[in-house]
Amino acid sequence: MPENHKPTVRVMNVLIIGSGAREHALAWAAAKSERVAMVFVAPGNGGTALMGGKVSNVQLKATALDELLAFAHDNNIDLTIVGSEQPLELGIVDLFRSAGLHVVGPTQTAARLESSKVFSKEFMQRQGIPTACYHVYRDMSTAVRSIELPETSYPLVIKASGLCAGKGVFIALDRQEALKAIRELFEERIFGDAADEVVIEDFLQGQEASVFALTDGTCYRLFLPAQDHKRIGNGDTGKNTGGMGAYAPAPLVTPEVLQKVEKQIIQPTLKGMRDEGYPYTGFLYVGLMIDNGEPSVVEYNARLGDPETQVVLPLLQSDFIAALQASVDGTLGDVPFEMHRKSAATIVIASGGYPDHYETGRKITIADEVAAMEDCLVFHAGTSFEEGKLTTSGGRVFSVTALGHSLRESIDRAYRAVEKISFEGAYYRTDIGAKAL
């Protein structure tokens, strides 16, 4: 764009909702924008508390919708970015919009793509979007009968329909494991109401990747495809976690695969949501299984991924806030959305014992030289900064990101920074991104 045609820069106050490393990354990207005067993070974490300058924390929970709305009014918030899924499920976008405020995210009805697996599976079936074959069960005896049918093959995937913080999925290797999962969901009710409905679906072979779109309902722009590492242990072993590391761009998502993802998944998803009367706006997370170059949907999320955000946002070269504002204004097609020609990797440092029991309140030491490391960003997750002390306060504690001219360079750089951060019991995987090298 020629210099004299630059749009007038608006000075905005931004509110970010959530407390993870994803929200620290959102705050970092917002603070970089020349359009932004103030960034508030509710509730934020130790990292957002330490940013200073334009950024400050607000002691309000992500689910305290009425208080958040009052805060937004009182502080002249021009744009709210919803990081986590719970406020979306509770209808924060509907509430803010009805009060005349600009907010990035889907309405409660549209957020069902994430908050109800039954809705999302039935939607994909109606719209002909590729996904695993499935059945829905609303009581235990019918579910048990279904796995006793001779044609049942394993592994079998059993999912609670509602939100379970990423823990509501069982991959059963045999009938006994399937029975145990069904019992835990329907009888022991380990996820409560979230498992009133249960989806049982075929196991998909292949490799996983995540593609993120920002959309105004019609037009969409894509971030670089990323790959998460969900298991706690090296070599993708052990329990599922919220995500132990990520990298982007994921070479698995070739231009040909991406074209199929757009044509067969993203475009029909946005069109389907419009046609069915609940246009989808905000960030759309498409969790993919790619088998021999053919993508299918493992899950949708109604937000950006964590830890994927910590790699895809630093790779965005264009002004993030300008794009978000355009998505709210319905002019997303008119703004630049350019990526750096680099790679990024992020390594999650967790508390020992995560994803099961872990201790908090451990004192954290970050070597001074980390702040000076080139192309390196330390995003905090479960940290708190009080009375001048930084301590651990959650399972995932940091997400350490580095950029590089190659994936190898970004991974090595990220690990060099990780080694300079310490607290008792700190744990991280040592093979993030290795699959792609």
Please count the residues of this chain forming the interface with ligand GLY, following the rule CB under 6 A: 7
The single residue among 143, 306, 402, 429 that binds ligand GLY, judged by CB under 6 A, is: 306
CA distances from 162 to 20, 92, 418 (A): 21, 18, 35
Taking CB under 6 A as the rule, does residue 282 contact ligand GLY?
A: no
Distance CA 377, CA 395 (A): 20
Which are the contacts of 170, defined by CB distance < 8 A and separation ≥ 6? 157, 158, 159, 177, 178, 181, 184
Taking CB under 6 A as the rule, does residue 397 contact ligand AMP?
A: no
Among the listed ranges 12-20, 71-79, 94-102, 199-207, the one in contact with ligand AMP (CB under 6 A) is: 199-207
For residue 80, what are its two tokens?
């709210």
Distance CA 437, CA 435 (A): 6
Taking CB under 6 A as the rule, does residue 168 contact ligand GLY?
A: no
Taking CB under 6 A as the rule, does residue 399 contact ligand GLY?
A: no
Contact of 303 with 297, CB cutoff 8 Å:
no
Tell the smallest beta-carbon distance from residue 299 to ligand AMP (Å): 4
User: Which of ligand GLY, ligand AMP, none binds 299 (CB below 5-8 Å, type-dependent)?
Assistant: ligand AMP
Tell the smallest beta-carbon distance from residue 251 to ligand AMP (Å): 19
User: Which of ligand GLY, ligand AMP, none binds 201 (CB below 5-8 Å, type-dependent)?
Assistant: ligand AMP
Taking CB under 6 A as the rule, does residue 105 contact ligand GLY?
A: no
Q: Name which of 72 and 160 has its Cβ closer to ligand GLY.
A: 160
Tell the smallest beta-carbon distance from residue 181 to ligand GLY (Å): 20
The single residue among 44, 217, 243, 279 that binds ligand GLY, judged by CB under 6 A, is: 243
Question: Residue 415: helix, strand or coil by DSSP?
Answer: helix
The single residue among 30, 157, 199, 366 that binds ligand AMP, judged by CB under 6 A, is: 157
User: Which of ligand AMP, ligand GLY, none binds 147 (CB below 5-8 Å, type-dependent)?
Assistant: none
Distance CA 227, CA 432 (A): 10
Report the first-to-last Cα separation within the chain, whole angstroms.
37
Taking CB under 6 A as the rule, does residue 305 contact ligand GLY?
A: yes
For residue 347, what are its two tokens?
């390594």
Taking CB under 6 A as the rule, does residue 89 contact ligand AMP?
A: no
Distance CA 184, CA 341 (A): 47
Handedness of CA 274, 278, 284, 285 (dihedral sign): negative
Among the listed ranges 93-101, 173-181, 202-210, 383-391, the one in contact with ligand AMP (CB under 6 A) is: 202-210
CB burial of residue 431 (10 Å; 0-12, 13-18, 19+)? middle
Tell the smallest beta-carbon distance from residue 344 to ligand GLY (Å): 15
Taking CB under 6 A as the rule, does residue 231 contact ligand GLY?
A: no
For residue 371, what are its two tokens?
């702040």
Taking CB under 6 A as the rule, does residue 44 contact ligand GLY?
A: no
Between 304 and 323, how does the x/- string for binding to ligand AMP read (CB under 6 A)? Answer: --------------------
* Strand runs labelled E in 101-181: 103-104, 134-137, 156-160, 169-172
Tell the smallest beta-carbon distance from residue 153 to ligand AMP (Å): 12
Tell the smallest beta-carbon distance from residue 208 to ligand AMP (Å): 6
CA distances from 395 to 13, 346, 362, 390 (A): 31, 16, 12, 15
CB burial of residue 133 (10 Å; 0-12, 13-18, 19+)? exposed
> Closest-CB residue for ligand GLY?
305
Residue listed under structure tokens 């620290």: 24
Among the listed ranges 70-78, 196-204, 262-270, 364-372, the one in contact with ligand AMP (CB under 6 A) is: 196-204
Contact of 81 with 24, CB cutoff 8 Å:
no
Q: Name which of 166 and 251 has its Cβ closer to ligand AMP.
A: 166
Interaction with ligand AMP in 112-151: which residues (CB under 6 A)? Answer: 132
The single residue among 101, 228, 252, 403 that binds ligand GLY, judged by CB under 6 A, is: 228
Question: Residue 319: helix, strand or coil by DSSP?
Answer: coil
Residue type, 383: T
Q: Name which of 305 and 395 has its Cβ closer to ligand GLY.
A: 305
Interaction with ligand AMP in 236-295: which residues (CB under 6 A)? Answer: 287
Among the listed ranges 181-189, 299-307, 316-324, 373-381, the one in contact with ligand GLY (CB under 6 A) is: 299-307
Other CB atoms within 10 A of residue 302 CB: 26
Strand partners, 36: 12
Q: Which residues in this chain contact ligand AMP in the complex, by CB under 6 A?
A: 132, 157, 159, 166, 169, 201, 203-204, 208, 230, 287, 298-299
Q: Which residues in this chain contact ligand GLY in the complex, by CB under 6 A?
A: 166, 228, 243, 301, 305-306, 308
